[in-house]
Structure 1
């Protein structure tokens, strides 16, 4: 596979990434955004094609998610390098004595910070392109296991629930505004049929007409909540994940995750406790979804259960 590796010429208006890369005083060219996206899609497509129909296909999900996660981890590590460089910049600026040596050191720290910003963005572009190709090839949705994730042109941002909760509390104290209203969704893992997807998307599309700048909050559980995550990614809607922490809370983890969703103070709580598909009508309702609806009502929040047409 061959990828274009030269930055967009200064005379041509490129993407935000290309413009940022071109603004740096770097003699070596940066890959273009198009090349990075092409690379991310290609490596994921190659992996799926390689594993399909082989004995390793049983482990395809683990391998695919780990590959995407590697670029996510790299972006985080590079961002931390950039933060350290910025800390050094602030210290040098504070103690600047006007000497040539101090000026040179400050310029070097600035260049390291800006270079790391571009490198982190490049990792994010590859990650998001690979994640999109993963969804197209397998129908599965990748989400970052830990921490928040900035959005690229392919997907919206993903936020850690605890960070979002702190932002809500800060807003009340007048310290910060976390953004738009939250719509929370909790659904059964078995509610993943075409009929379920249609009803979930209908409900979320309705919510978006009510709150155009909404963020979607869910636990990221398999089945119906993965369908909701796919909707958010397709619509460019910010995603807040309140993951169930089974290591800390054991069997109570799905219900503790409900508490985190409630703490976000959603405008409306949507639930799909049972598949709307007739063939699955005998499945037991999903307890955590029922519990979430009850907690919403107990806290005076609007609760709308999703039902068949």
Structure 2
């Protein structure tokens, strides 16, 4: 695209309104409407009243409102594309760190985009109102429609969307993990299957009696030792699992400790921790759990006790 032939909207797409840091806050509605849109209109158009450029007020006001309208439409399409991307990533997720990172980034971008679309929509409506106040004419975009997508739907399209929404709700209910989280960790060289099966059977039964709830297992997805055996126990008993994979490329050697923090996050409300032997990572998990007031059960490895005897 040649810069000197690009229209205003293309220039904005090229240089402005691009992705921003997701941590930066979105301005509140009153700031968007009053301090940004209305003051911008007044600063630009107010100076043209009573001058030889007064005839340009109407097309300039229309152009400003149309830019925001077009940006809202473009962002709405990007929201749809990102939603499709999330669905595809979730469907093809292979448990790798790359897939996990891609899914997390897509979800974060989706949330960010929805907030941006909401803000642009507020600005777009405010700009349309400013145009109408300034000119006395109803604002009609140069392309597209000012009406919301839902307002343009036919009856058949509306019913189709309702059906899809119902399907999404039913799928979410089926996918929802019920119960209380129980965190399991331990030694990678643990081999005694019976000890882990018997221990988790007892813990599960005790929680059912005390809280009348099923558990679901939280672990770091270890391919060997205690966590691998615990995962086998969960599959054998029909207990749901949540795997917290260490993100080595992001956190380096601290990755397993970051996993401990994630499993102990208050939003998961873990009921307790069971440690089958373990190393410094497991000890760190136990100490942090106790600091949060959680019950920690430590089970010694029978093989190592026998060796010591």
> Which interval holds the TM-score relative to the shorter structure?
0.3 to 0.5
TM-score, normalised by the number of residues in structure 2: 0.42
TM-score, normalised by the number of residues in structure 1: 0.42
Larger Rg: 2
